[in-house]
Amino acid sequence: MPAEMSTETPTYRRRLLERTRKVGNSLCVGLDPVLQKLPQVEGSPADRIRRFYADLLEAMAKRRLYPAAVKPNIAYFEALGIETLEVLRQLTAEYRSEGIFVVLDAKRGDISTSSGAYATMAFETFAADGVTVAPYMGSDSIGPFQQKAKAQGIYVLVRTSNPGARDFQDLTVDLGQGRRLPLYRVVAEKLVEWDRGDLGAVVGATAPRELEELVVFWRSLGKEIPMLIPGISVGGIGQGGDIKEIIRAIRNAGGDSNLHLFNSSSGVNYAYERFSGMDPAEASLKAMEELLKGMG
């Protein structure tokens, strides 16, 4: 029996592999509700968002077409008030009840006591399977998430998909003894040091070369860190990351695509904009099918 599938105490890494193998894909669908783009125009913001994502889940269940995970970006829910945060909590429970992992995209990170509170929010209040965190404050901002996690994942920002990523992440760090690495590689190395089967890395789909190098790097250290890979476009909607290129990069590096989550948000959420007359939830499923085809 493979180590990841053993009867030992579960880790997030093991749970993730079990999930992707069971559902047969590593697709992650971002839940980013932009109110102006939601097709329903009646009701409060909370009602409209709940209907939109409840309809999507119902369509998934009817077709038995599920992603491995969803990734709600908490900022979109926070921006619209307390009622909308309660909707997020409800949606998290409902998606998880169908076996879908929920990775809360919160990008939190602070001094240890504050990080502990953020971890409680993610892992207990919202009962998420994973959360994104920022590593800028070092190990004592990551450690509290690890202490609170119960086979839940902590995805640390490493090489992100935004244009400004190079402002800091590509800066060269002199580690002494002739070792010089870009800052994102220093973070990537720290993940191997800190990992207890609970850490992952956020690596943007718009940086396929760096992504491939990271997989090679981690494997050379004896541990392939799970990646959450945002920025994948479908049908021309999204940040421009190409699913086929990303899959090819991981395979070139000798990586296991079952270990990584490939995220598309706008391209799935608002696929109805390019499928005229199609039900919004069905259009989202069609976009998911396109991504799955690209994943091979």
- Give the mean pLDDT of the chain: 93
Q: Quick one: pLDDT at residue 5?
A: 47
Q: Which long-range contacts (CB under 8 A, 24 or more apart) does 86-92 make?
A: 86/46, 87/46, 87/49, 87/50, 88/126, 89/125, 89/126, 90/50, 91/31, 91/50, 91/53, 91/54, 91/57, 92/126, 92/127, 92/128
Active centre residues (catalytic): 107
The pLDDT confidence band at residue 288, using thresholds 50, 70 and 90, is very high
Tell me the pLDDT tens digit for each residue of 8-42. 678 999 999 999 999 999 999 999 999 999 998 79
CB 148 within 8 Å of CB 117: no
Tell me the pLDDT tens digit for each residue of 154-206. 999 999 988 898 999 989 998 888 889 999 999 999 999 999 999 999 999 98
> How far lies 12's CA from each of 55, 94, 128, 150, in Å?
29, 20, 12, 8
Residues, the chain: 296
Rounded to whole angstroms, how far apart are CA atoms 190 and 174? 15
Could you tell me the pTM of the whole model?
A: 0.94
Tell me the pLDDT tens digit for each residue of 63-101. 999 999 999 999 999 999 999 999 999 999 999 999 999
